[in-house]
Amino acid sequence: HTGMLLHVIQTKEDKDNPSCYQRLVQKPASLMVWGCMSACGMGSLHIWKGTINAERYIQVLEQHILPSRRRLCQGRPCIFQHDNARPHTASITTSWLRRIRVLKWPACSPDLSPIVNIWRIIKRKMRQRRPKTVEQLEACIRQEWDNIPIPKLEQLVSSVPRRLQTVIKRRGDATQW
């Protein structure tokens, strides 16, 4: 059970009507999610409870980035991109990432990563599906992750150069996907 509270909303006439019971979330459950993608498909997905630090981030990378890169890139050159979150920029993380080609990302830059849009799609789907437990939330996230269509991935990845040019032209202002 995820901290949900059953709250009764009823009138005297409705006291036995089950539709008068409404679930209220006392403290919303949350999960941390890491995933990677390319224009060719979705990579690994890692879901856990709690927060992230550099050590945990490296563990996630060790488990998921190399197998995902092999599957998604199939020997072709590829560049790994992530934002400037503290665990991503910690010295132990940058040291670990020396074995991978990483796109340099300026500090305080607009987040232009295509995966931001994947997270937006998944969040919208979660609002529609309304999972009631952490287990349901995780299952829903995994299902939606697996259902992202390749044409959407191709569209998001191919739009990056154009969007970067627009941001440069606007002197740093973000653009819409």
- DSSP conformation letters of 114-156: HHHHHHHHHHHHHHHH---SHHHHHHHHHHHHHT--HHHHHHH
Q: Is 105 helix (H, G, I), strand (E, B) or coil?
A: coil
Q: Are 90 and 54 in contact (CB under 8 A)?
A: yes
Helical H runs in 21-133? 54-73, 86-89, 91-96, 114-129
pLDDT in the model for residue 66: 86
Per-residue pLDDT reduced to its tens digit, 116-169: 899 999 999 999 998 988 899 999 999 999 999 999 999 999 998 888 888 788
β-partners of residue 6 are 23
Q: Determine the Cα angle at 41 with ends 84 and 74, to 5°.
A: 95
Q: Is 165 exposed, middle or buried (0-12, 13-18, 19+ CB in 10 A)?
A: exposed
Per-residue pLDDT reduced to its tens digit, 16-73: 555 545 554 455 667 899 999 999 999 999 999 888 999 999 999 999 998 999 899 8
Fold of 31-158: Nucleotidyltransferase; domain 5 (3.30.420)
Domain residue extents for the chain: 31-158
